[in-house]
Amino acid sequence: MPWFIKTKSEREAKKKLKDDIWIQCQSCGAHVFRQDFTNNLNVCPKCDWHGKLTAYERIGMILDSGTFKEMFETIRPCDPLQFVDGKGPYSEKVETARAKTKLNESIVTGSGKINGLNVVMGVMDFRFLGGSLGSGTGEKILQAANYAYDNRVPCIIFSASGGARMHEGILSLMQMAKTCAGVARLDERKIPFISVLTDPTTGGVSASYAMVGDVNLAEPGALIGFAGRRVIEQTIKQKLPEDFQTAEFVKEHGFVDKIVHRKDLKETLFTILSYYNR
């Protein structure tokens, strides 16, 4: 074999090394040192594109160090329909997602502090079946809201979801009403509910609890909407604006109160919560 021809294993090793060092921005296409990207909270230093975070990464970014106490972590998805599609059983998809993410559901819930203020927080993780809203997800959100109600602490939910988890049929869709009822009850005790919309927040999540916060915040450029762009264009037979369903477009039309850069989210949340603690 000529000296300049690399074996398959050598090519794969080189590609892995490159992937370990560099990341390509999905917005501007720039190649950025992975360490610089990570140090910048998964935000592109070239164009400010906000990449995805895992649930625990976001928790570490928002809550005071050492204050997070996870709750309701044993709640898992159910499979009432014994659903099977062309790619296999739903139960196998769940187990694959659990093995990949080390999570039991698409949201992590718990209590903690933001600059010393007590909060209960739910953070969706898009890695778990696209952050979909299943019966377990809805139950965890309801229990977090109930904890906020019983303990009179603010409730914050970070959404990152492709929508309702249709593998569970009507049980999944009922989570929309269930979660909205849970967070709506907080108003009885004047407990704030803050919704933070990240990329993406779509489908049944955007049509339920994600849009009913006392304050709705969003990260820059986040995809926020219900049906997909192509479906809407085919339905109304019109071309939609280029910025349609971006956080900026949604704010302009009154569904989001403020767009906040990731580096400013913790202080913004603290400022908002400080008004409620006066």
Q: Global pTM? A: 0.91
Nearest to 212 by CA among 242, 234, 179: 179
Count how many domains the chain has: 2
Tell me: the pLDDT tens digits for 114-126?
999 999 999 999 9
| pLDDT band, very low/low/confident/very high, at 16 (cuts 50, 70, 90) | low
Residues 169 and 59 in one domain: yes
Residues 141 and 255 reside in one and the same domain? yes
Cα distance between residue 123 and residue 54, in whole Å: 9
Q: Are residues 34 and 151 in the same domain?
A: no
Q: What is the pLDDT of residues 139-155, one digit of tens each?
A: 999 999 999 999 999 99
At 186-208, the pLDDT tens digits run 999 999 999 999 999 999 999 99
User: What phi and psi, each to the nearest 5 degrees, are found at residue 156?
Assistant: -125, 130
Q: Which residue has the tokens 């910025």?
A: 243
State which amino acid sits at residue 92: E
**How far, rounded to the nearest angstrom, does the alpha carbon of residue 216 sit from its chain's CA centroid?**
14
Closest-CA residue to 158 (of 59, 227, 69, 251): 59
Q: Which domain holds residue 93?
A: 52-276
